[in-house]
Amino acid sequence: MTDAPQGGRPVADDGSEPPVVRDKRRIDPQTGQLRDGGAAAPQAPAPEVSGEMANETEVEQGLDDKSSGLTADVDLAAERLADLQRLQAEYVNYRKRVERDRDVARELATASVLESLLPVMDDLHLARQHGDLESGPFAAVADKLEAIVARAGLERFGEVGEAFDPAVHEALMHVQAELAAGTEVTTVVQVLQPGYRVGERVVRAARVAVADPDTTS
């Protein structure tokens, strides 16, 4: 049994004082506030930055910003240059295509006009073969007309003795004829109507009679 407290402190039956428990916690568990007499944990002082170091940091930051901006400008310039080069290549190809189409259209128009003159050229060719254009004013007109169509690119072809070529010859007759010794291919033996071409374009194939070589000997 515990005796009445002495000096405000309880005493046990055997006369001994019970142990005293002191709460040394700095934070009051009930209020959560710092108790009186408690000192806050010391904080390490912030390192001092000298003016020179601060300037170097600012300079480095500025250089980084300028470098980033310069890289972006270089990339943009390269992109614009690639666009310009692509546009230039497209324009060059367009010009070549237009010029090629213009040349083709000009050749077709010229060939069409010259083709309409072929009956006249045939008559002149027959007249020359018969000796009707040896002299006189009509011969001069024929010479001028032939010179004009020659300047326009019209060329007559088809001669006796040529090897038959279906690309430029139209065989109207197949005859028996004696060919030159050693001939081994079908050969033109008579030109019924000469052919005409403008450049590489055949306006009219030469109409011919052909003969095969003798293979019995």
Strands across the sheet containing 195-198: 154-157, 195-198, 201-204
- pLDDT confidence band for 73 (50 / 70 / 90): confident
pTM for the complete prediction? 0.54
- pLDDT confidence band for 95 (50 / 70 / 90): very high
pLDDT at 6: 47
Per the rule left: phi > 0, alpha: psi between -120 and 50, beta: everything else, 57 is alpha
Residues of the chain with pLDDT > 70, as a percent, come to 68
Residue 118's φ and ψ, nearest 5 degrees, are -60, -40
Q: Spell out the domain ranges in the chain.
A: 54-114, 117-152, 154-217
150-196: pLDDT as tens digits = 999 999 999 999 999 999 999 999 998 888 888 889 999 999 999 99
Of the options 3.90.1300.10, 3.90.1200.10, 2.30.22.10, 1.10.287.3510, the CATH number for the domain spanning 154-217: 2.30.22.10
Query: Does the pLDDT of residue 204 top 70, yes or no?
Result: yes
